Structure 1
Amino acid sequence: MNFCLAALENAASIPGWYSMTILAIGIAIVIGLIVKARFNAFVALIVAAMVVSLLAPGELSSKVSRVAEALGVNAGKIAIVIGMAAIIGECMMLSGAAQRIVQACLGIFGERRAPLALASSGFVLGIPVFFDTVFYLLVPLARSLFRSTHKRYLLYLLAIAAGGAVTHTLVPPTPGPLAMAGNLGINLGAMMLGGILVGIPTAAAGLAFSVWLDRRMPLEMRALPGEEVLEHDAEVAPPVTPQALPGLFVSLLPILLPVILISSNTILDHFAKVSAKSALVAASPAVQGEAAQKAFLDNYLAEAVTPLASWNRYSAVWGNPSLALMLSAFLAAIVYVRQRRPNAKDLERTVETSLMSAGLIILITASGGAFGAMLKEAQIGSAIQSIFNGGDTSGAPLGGMLVMCLAFLLAALLKVAQGSSTVAMITGSSMVAAMIGTTDIGFSKVYLATAIAGGSLIGSWMNDSGFWIFAKMGGLTETEALKSWTPMLIVLGVTAFLTSLLCAALHIPLPG
């Protein structure tokens, strides 16, 4: 035993089969502890990280401490952002801002296009608010619409699920996309833009499938436990008037502000990089043909954007995700205070409740990053590369499209095995990051992240909390949910993956 540990401690590299064995052990621990032993995901991931670290090369004295260090590094990247996002979501719910956005969508599209309004509401609210909260908020509207139309109940439910699930898995600051951006080294503004770019056609495909399925599987709305009392109370209680809700612009501001701040920093950072090319182009030797044209355009563009590029040092401050989300959280809290006039104790309780839920998410996300860091120590990337290069680790790196396919399948496997899309995204992106290392995959890593997100939607069944939220809040049986929710998420996942492949193949530019 001591000989083996000494050999691992001094080894600069290890055989590929040993790296793959470590990977298999790590996956088995994560899935076994979550699925079979019902451990919390944080415990499962940190135990797996410890075991992988002990089995990987390195000094014996540092094998435990490097797990803690990796956990701290990853927590430092996302703790403020996730904490502020939780406060934003809670304040938007309590202030009525979320309800105002829903009413605006219904007003724009009308009752005839209510499914589109519900999907749009879910899509927008799914950016700052967790999926279960979005569904809780919008299901009463779906039930009210059925009472007035007496049809399309399943369509209303699926439309909400399609919109909310897409942004929950594709657009930060929800934990899964945020963790993927950190694990893969993606600019957060680029992740937001790419998530929306892939998310719009994905949500549209989900809505189209929902329309198709509703025609073939019409369902009547059933009473929920205690609903008779709720309906009676609703008849007696006065309805919420527009005057009791904040204005639409104010309601949207906590969502739009971080998107604008972070995206503007991404754009200005890109301009700064283009501006820096001008000196290189001017100093380069004479070129001809297409190369000359490209050099001229780069130089001309650089001169045009140099004034904007000078703002980059300021945008790096206001566009920092931590500051952007903090400003947005303060804004959401101000809207809540002005709208509902809570006392100091109620406001403190609201913030505390938000941060308690965020704390566990931060731990799970950071532990997933630590697990991925330990897989890098186990040289997983070199081992997988050697498999596809016939055992030659010095050969060409894995093709980007192949990596994307593997990432999608890996996330789908993790999703089916343990049920959580967030855990599948965190764990999958950690493993993929270890696989590719610093290799240039030939396109923006944003599309790799959106492919992983697509995989995390595949195979939702009874081990997924979202499955039960959809079934129980919607009043569906387990069989009905398996016939509707599960295939709809497969459509979303496959569409997100194919859209990511297309964007990568067309080299649609995004930083990261």
Structure 2
Amino acid sequence: MDPLVILAIGIASVLGLILILRVNAFLALIISAIVVSLLAPGSVEDKISRVATSFGNSAGNIAIVIGLAAIIGECMMASGAADRIVQAFLRLLGEKRASWALMGSGFVLSVPVFFDTVFYLLVPLARSLFRRTNKNYLLYILAIAAGGAITHTLVPPTPGPLVMATTLGIDIGVMMLVGAMVAFPAAVAGLAVSAWLNRMIEVPFRDDKVIGTEDDDPQIPQTTPPLFLSLLPVILPVALISANTALETMANAEQTPRLTVTDVTDWPAFHTALKDQSEPAAIPQFVNVLPETTKEVIAKDSLTDDDKTEIVAAMNAALLEKDPAIYSNEAFDAVVRKSWKIAADLQNDQLTPQEKEMLTREALVNELSQSDLKKMKVHERQRFNRLLLEVTFPETIKPHNWDTGLRNAANISMLFGNANFALLISTLVAMGLVFSTRKPTLVEMSKTVELALMSGGVIILITAAGGAFGDMLKIAGIGEAIQDKFSNGDTKSTGIAFLVLGYSLAALLKVAQGSSTTAMIVGSGMLASMVTGIDLGFNPVYLATAIGAGSLMGSWMNDSGFWIFTKMGRLTESESLRSWTPMLATLSIVSFAMTVLLSKILPLL
């Protein structure tokens, strides 16, 4: 079946089950994943098992982080840390700038805490501020929503952005930093629109209790932690993950796989091998990717210094290329087999130090060749290509030094900057704050954690099901079909087209089924299947922010956030449609515009 027909059936299946039949998102995504898998190529006996395997892989990537983030949020509420942050914003900005304080509080707290929890925490403050000023109630609650909604959809470790980062292969630190860069201008624009809506719409302050809402005064401990400790569960994982990202970026910028003229220890032999292309079979792989002008230089009888420089420059253009077009199983089969023989000799202790060094490199080539080359990060592909060059020309190419000081520091930071480990430390800090303020028994602490995990468990199931659905679309060959029809070789227009597609798809999903998280999960899964192997012209993090922006568009009665805002803010449905919905649309449009702008001026390639 045509891949685009399978895509249409998959989308129709998800939307039909969720919107028309009101099926739970987890069941809808799993059923749709099975439908797509049945229609996709492959052995009949594998069509169901591969859905389960993909579900497990997706859950393995995000389950720990989502579970820990849920615990952090619950503990920050229970310890009073969240309330302490809000009070600090109010003291810093003053009552006249209370809307900025509420927006800033929502912006920060929605990074580790779910939006509905943040809104519950801050609404009593909005009501209290209105009682003191007798004005701007709608502005206050919209300010909370503006700050909370935007980071909830753009900044990990909240589930939606986290899943998008995992699905699209984006570094968590990069997702945090770029998500925040996109989110802040959108939040400011949302606050400006909120001020305008506050003047245009007259919303009475309803002091009566509404079914489904809580008292104005949330249960906050009498003693709250110091401000620094209250912020620590938020800033600690951000700092650790960002430090890892910074060190990785600096280490990658060294481009140690880059070839230099002096790395070629025997130019006559190297020139002869490139010119004759007789042995080994891998040599044509390096020559074929060179431009025609460089091939003409290689055809000369002898090389000048300028010729050598040109050959090295052309080879670097290929070695450092993101698309790993050099490797093929057939061409490098002899290298892999040779590593097996050397490994056998190593057991007999019959190797020279040089042979042992070459064994290490050939074994690494063997290991990397078994991986999905298209999923390699840029620096991994560059290293792989350089290793291929070294094992093909072991006598003429000097081994490069990969383990530089920066690289070793980046390797260490990968332990502490791993999202799972960073959030585990943050979880322990958040739990420690609960013990210091509430002095709970171990049983009470266990119940607090269990309550958090119950809410996180549902998100994990939906997320993993969305991952399985996206993987089945990949197997169906959606990416290749989209590329064939729409790329036309124009990288810049293709990249922007995918940004628009991701935004539109997420907006459609949000309007249809109401959940921003589900829109992000399904949207990123679909986009991941389409962009594999395509040069977008920018970092895929912008695909994630485009999808996140789209997931804010068109909130109405089928969105749980709409009802949280309506019932807890004590507004009518009509008032929410005239205030909440256009404010979120503003967040959506501005964040998408920021995404397009940053993809142009800061592509992060």
Global fold match (TM > 0.5): yes
Q: Structure 1 residue 329 and structure 2 residue 427: aligned?
A: yes
Using a 3 Å threshold, how does the CA distance of structure 1 residues 379 and 278 change in structure 2: closer, same or farther? closer
The letter of the residue matching 1:180 is: M
| Aligned-partner SS, 1:310 | helix
Tell me the equivalent position of 1:151. Answer: 135
Cα distance in 2 for partners of 1:224, 1:246 equals: 32
- Distance between the aligned counterparts of 1:31 and 1:100, measured in 2? 42
Paired residues of 2:83 and 2:220 also in contact (CA < 8 A): no
Q: Which moved more, 1:167-176 or 1:440-449?
A: 440-449
2:249 paired residue number? 270
Partner of 1:258: 237
After superposition, where does 1:56-135 map in structure 2 within 5 Å? 56-135=40-119
CA shift for structure 1 position 208: 0.8
Identity %: 57
Structure 1 residue runs without a partner (length 5+): 1-13, 292-302
- In 2, the alpha carbon distance for the partners of 1:110 and 1:282 equals 63
Correspondence for 1:387: 485
SS at match of 2:254: helix
In the alignment, structure 1 residue 29 sits paired with structure 2 residue 29 = no
**C-alpha displacement of 1:494:** 0.5
Inter-partner Cα distance in structure 2 for 1:230 and 1:30:
34
Q: AA paired with 1:85?
A: A
Given that residues 100 and 246 in structure 1 are in contact (C-alpha distance below 8 angstroms), is that contact kept between their aligned partners in structure 2? yes
Is the contact between residue 152 and residue 219 of structure 1 (CA under 8 Å) also seen in structure 2? no
Q: 1:421 aligns with which of 516, 521, 540?
A: 516
Task: From 378, 383, 399, give the equivalent of 2:476.
Answer: 378
Letter in 1 for 2:227: L
Query: Is the Cα contact below 8 Å between 1:275 and 1:309 reproduced in 2?
Result: no
The reply to whether residue 182 of structure 1 matches residue 166 of structure 2 is yes
> Out of 437, 442, 449, which is 2:532 matched to?
437
Q: Write the letter of the residue equivalent to 1:316.
A: M
Kindly indicate whether residue 443 of structure 2 is the aligned counterpart of residue 345 of structure 1.
yes
CA distance in 2, matches of 1:32, 1:490: 24
Cα separation, partners in 2 of 1:282 and 1:209, compared to 1, 3 Å: farther
2:460 counterpart residue number: 362
2:423 is paired with a residue of what secondary structure? helix
Aligned with residue 53 of structure 1, among 37, 45, 58: 37
Q: What is the one-letter code of the residue matched to 1:60? A: V
| Change beyond 3 A, Cα 1:332–1:25 | same
**Aligned pair in 2 of structure 1 residues 466, 283: CA closer, same or farther (>3 Å)?**
farther
- Alignment-derived partner of residue 8 in structure 1: none
Shift of 1:396: 5.8
Q: Distance in 1 between matches of 2:38 and 2:556?
A: 34
1:278 to partner: Cα distance = 7.7
1:289-329 CA-to-partner distances (Å, cap 9, x unmatched) read xx9xxxxxxxxxxx9x9644431111011111111111110
Of 494, 497, 503, which residue of structure 1 is paired with 2:598? 503
Task: Tell me the distance in 2 between the aligned counterparts of 1:117 and 1:389.
Answer: 45
Q: Is the 8 A contact 2:84 2:224 kept in 1?
A: yes
Cα distance in 1 for partners of 2:19, 2:503 equals: 21
Q: Please give the alpha-carbon distance, in whole angstroms, between the structure 2 residues aligned to 1:494 and 1:42.
A: 29
Q: Indicate if the aligned counterparts of 1:169 and 1:177 stay in contact, CA closer than 8 A.
A: yes
- Alpha-carbon distance in 2 for matches of 1:90, 1:283: 59
**Alpha-carbon separation, structure 1, partners of 2:590 and 2:555:** 16
Between the aligned partners of 2:33 and 2:526, the Cα distance in structure 1 is 12
The runs of 4+ residues in structure 1 deviating greater than 3 Å are 276-287, 305-309, 395-398
What is the aligned partner in structure 2 of residue 245 from structure 1? Answer: 224
Q: Deviations over 1:355-394 (max 9, x none)?
A: 111111111001101100000111111222233258xxxx
Distance 1:142 1:508 in 2: 39
- Residues 393-414 of structure 1: CA deviation (Å, up to 9, x unaligned): xx56671011101110010000
Q: What SS class does the counterpart of residue 150 from structure 2 fall into?
A: helix
Return the offset for 1:224. 3.9
Of 320, 325, 333, 2:418 maps to 320
Give the TM-score taking structure 1 as reference length.
0.88
Question: Does structure 2 retain, via aligned residues, the 8 Å contact 1:119–1:164?
Answer: yes
Query: What CA distance in whole angstroms lies between the structure 2 residues aligned with 1:41 and 1:167?
Result: 23
**1:446 matches 2:541:** yes
Q: Which residue of 2 aligns with 1:139?
A: 123
3-state SS of the aligned residue for 1:246? Answer: coil
Is residue 275–residue 306 contact of structure 1 (8 Å, CA) maintained in 2? no
8 Å contact from structure 1 (residues 183, 433) kept in 2? yes
Amino acid at match of 1:259: V
SS class of match (1:280):
coil
The size of the alignment, in residue pairs, is 474
In 2 relative to 1, CA 218–280 (structure 1 residues): closer, same or farther, beyond 3 Å? Answer: farther
Residue 212 (str. 1) matches residue 196 (str. 2): yes
* 2:79 and 2:220 in contact (8 A); partners too: no
Partner of 1:20: 4
Q: For structure 2, which runs of at least 5 residues remain unmatched after alignment?
A: 264-307, 315-400
CA–CA distance in structure 1, aligned partners of residues 40 and 459 of structure 2:
27
Q: Name the counterpart of 1:484.
A: 579
| Superposed displacement of residue 508, structure 1 | 4.6
Structure with more helix by fraction: 1
**1:283 Cα offset (Å):** 4.9
Distance 2:585 2:498 in 1: 20
**1:313–1:507 CA distance, 2 compared to 1 (3 A):** same
Secondary structure, counterpart of 2:95 in structure 1: coil
- Provide the residue aligned with 1:298 in structure 2: none
Q: Name 1:42's counterpart in structure 2.
A: 26
1:339, distance to aligned residue in structure 2 (A): 1.0
Per the alignment, residue 343 of structure 2 pairs with: none
Letter in structure 1 aligned against 2:235: L
